[in-house]
Structure 1
Amino acid sequence: MYAPQEDTRLLARAVRDEPRTPGAVVLDVCTGTGALALTAAAHGAAHVTAVDLSRRAVLAARWNARLRGLPVRAVRGSLLSAVPGRTFDLILSNPPYVPTPGPLPSGGAERAWRAGEDGRAVLDELCEGAPAALRPGGVLLVVHSALCGTERTVEMLRESGLSTRVVDREIVPYGPVMRRHARWLEERGLVEPGVQKEELVVIRAERA
């Protein structure tokens, strides 16, 4: 778990751009500190569930919700398997997406960002599972780096029958995690030598 960065801010803006729906039921997957779950609750959602594999993240989300008096329930688990059989009006996710060498960590802080050599270890599972958890008219909002393959995310969600598009983009300086892996990204040919910025994208997918 680490402090919210530009990707969280970008996705929070997309959440606030969504129409307010009385009684909306929201799921925030990979919640971290709970910042996005709290944004959804403050935006008028009636019931918000925040999910994370990290015990520390779940405790932080619970504490932050309590401090703000917002209706957020935080539970520990892996993506959609933490809420089996439930459906939602809005699913949010800022998942781990940083392309990194070596095996995925089984614990520790790096689990919050390491996502395999293509950055899609969590993204692909989310894209496969989220459509079935959306109610009719439900929306998925997900943010990630364009290095992970924006079109791949869009295509996966469209193949599941969702109306999908990129609703926001922003080029931002590398944060501490990206700077740490900059040389490896260059060696893999994922970025040009000397590049210290990445494009973040917010993808919106809606069930008919």
Structure 2
Amino acid sequence: MLLLRPPGVYPPQGDTELLAACVRREPLDGSSRVLDLCTGTGAVALAAARSGARVTAVDLSARAVAAAWCNSRLHHRRIRLHRGDLLAPLSGGRFDLVTANPPYLPTDPGKGSPGRGAALAWDAGPDGRLVLDRICRTTPRVLAAGGVLLIVQSALADVPETLALLRAAGLRTSVAARQRQPFGPVLTARAALFERLGLIGPGEREEELAVVRGVREC
């Protein structure tokens, strides 16, 4: 799928496609309400919009929101776009599906706050959970009864913790998909850090991606 991506906007990669594939397996139709957090280019929002669902997408980056708007027009899909921090720009409402591809890469514990610019799309604090934890704690409340939350992340950022937090929020949880892929440039540059932190073995240069699925049953 052709997508416009200005500099500084997270490019669709293996995690994007894995999440989009899970979205395509959900039973969406014209009555479905979908929220896509950390939308980037809007690739996952577009995957949902193809079903006819009513899609809202949010990103902290003004460039990402502009890119998603252009891509929605390019593919003739209507997506309601907001710039802001996760749920902050929303004025209420419940959703049948919430998706998120947040920053999830661990950073050097001595580095301090996440980087600027494009790095905000992947830097997520020393344990990789700076945004993941917030999504797990806040998004369950915007799910409609029977609503589904799909989050893609790296195993480097503790998939069991995501499952535990969503269960604590009252969701029924599972891992909907897993995929191994070679390190890209950012992970390769941090391989020595990940080895030092015990997140990977010596010489290991693959990461496992997982899509965590949570269902609000009532």
Query: Per-residue displacement from partner, 1:22-81 (whole Å, max 9, x unpaired)?
Result: 311111000001100011001231x11110000000000000001111011211000111
Does structure 1 residue 86 correspond to structure 2 residue 107? Answer: no
Which moved further from structure 2: 103-112 or 4-13? 103-112
- Aligned counterpart, 1:194: 203
Q: How many residues align?
A: 207
- Aligned counterpart, 1:76: 83
Shift of residue 183, structure 1, vs aligned partner: 1.1
Which of 163, 171, 183 is the matching residue for 2:172?
163
CA distance in 2, matches of 1:192, 1:110: 25
- List gaps (5 residues or longer) in structure 2: 1-8
The structure-2 alpha-carbon separation of the partners of 1:189 and 1:106, relative to structure 1 and needing over 3 Å to count, comes to closer
- Aligned counterpart, 1:12: 20
Percent pairwise identity: 51
Which moved further from structure 2: 78-87 or 119-128? 78-87
The DSSP-based 3-state class of the residue aligned with 2:87 is: helix
CA distance in 1, matches of 2:73, 2:35: 18
Does structure 1 residue 150 correspond to structure 2 residue 159? Answer: yes
- Counterparts in 2 of 1:79-158, with a 5 A limit? 79-101=86-108, 102-105=111-114, 107-158=116-167
CA distance in 2, matches of 1:25, 1:98: 29
- Aligned counterpart, 2:6: none
Shift of residue 87, structure 1, vs aligned partner: 1.6
**Is the 1:28–1:36 contact (alpha carbons within 8 Å) kept by the matching residues of 2?**
yes
Point out 4+ residue stretches in structure 1 off by more than 2 angstroms: 103-107
Shift of residue 20, structure 1, vs aligned partner: 2.4
- Aligned counterpart, 2:50: 42
CA distance in 2, matches of 1:84, 1:96: 24
Shift of residue 103, structure 1, vs aligned partner: 2.4
Which moved further from structure 2: 81-90 or 118-127? 81-90
TM-score, scaled to structure 2: 0.92
Shift of residue 106, structure 1, vs aligned partner: 6.5
CA distance in 2, matches of 1:204, 1:160: 13
- List gaps (5 residues or longer) in structure 1: none
**Is the 2:107–2:124 contact (alpha carbons within 8 Å) kept by the matching residues of 1?**
yes
